[in-house]
Structure 1
């Protein structure tokens, strides 16, 4: 499946990460970001803040996300506070190590959304 044939967040969620060499072009990154309305593109990263009722729920989400991202071998930058977890994705290995966004970032973001829905 190419990025241009992905039409929904559930299609993203069903995919698995694969090694990426090239970053997505900005237009394709914006198109994929539109499939994930709670996420925003910020400083070359795909970002979302998840809010929870308490610290226990926040850490439960963080642990579940850690499990999923470890299985996908694509790890986010996390900032964890009492009732919030800020998640930032980008792919360091693309663009000859210069970084950028890859399909993997959007796959993991869709999986994070699915976790949050169940939290």
Structure 2
């Protein structure tokens, strides 16, 4: 296994994002993703979800939030660039934040059409 602190060249970051995390982008040395939510309650749930995953991974993103969106930015500060750790945490964040029950699942999912229960604006 390669050293998890080895930086990935920018052209490889771009290629991997396109293949593995198409909703993420590479900008100003960070890999970034903006999640749209339906309001403040949903925004806080996304922030808490990202916070839990980052703490469990011991790899901490920068977050910017507003009423109905959260931007997640990842870069390995100690390596001064993008590493495998950034890709692994981004993939975990993506899978958890974008998760919702399948149509034939026993779990119903958030009620649609009632703004009291609206959550993430799924891609």
Which TM-score tier does this pair reach, normalised by the shorter chain? Answer: 0.7 to 0.9
Q: Could you tell me the TM-score, scaled by structure 2's length?
A: 0.74
User: Shift of residue 80 of structure 1?
Assistant: 1.1
- Per the alignment, residue 74 of structure 2 pairs with 89
Query: 8 Å contact 2:49–2:97 — kept in the other structure?
Result: no
Query: 8 Å contact 2:46–2:97 — kept in the other structure?
Result: yes
Higher RCO (C-alpha under 8 Å, 6+ residues apart): 1
Secondary structure of 1:21's aligned partner: coil
Gaps of 5+ in 1: 3-18
Query: 8 Å contact 2:62–2:73 — kept in the other structure?
Result: yes
Query: 8 Å contact 1:20–1:93 — kept in the other structure?
Result: no
Q: Could you tell me the TM-score, scaled by structure 1's length?
A: 0.76
Task: Name whichever structure is richer in helix by fraction.
Answer: 1
User: Within 1, Cα distance between the matches of 2:69 and 2:97?
Assistant: 12
User: Within 1, Cα distance between the matches of 2:91 and 2:63?
Assistant: 16
User: Shift of residue 115 of structure 1?
Assistant: 2.0
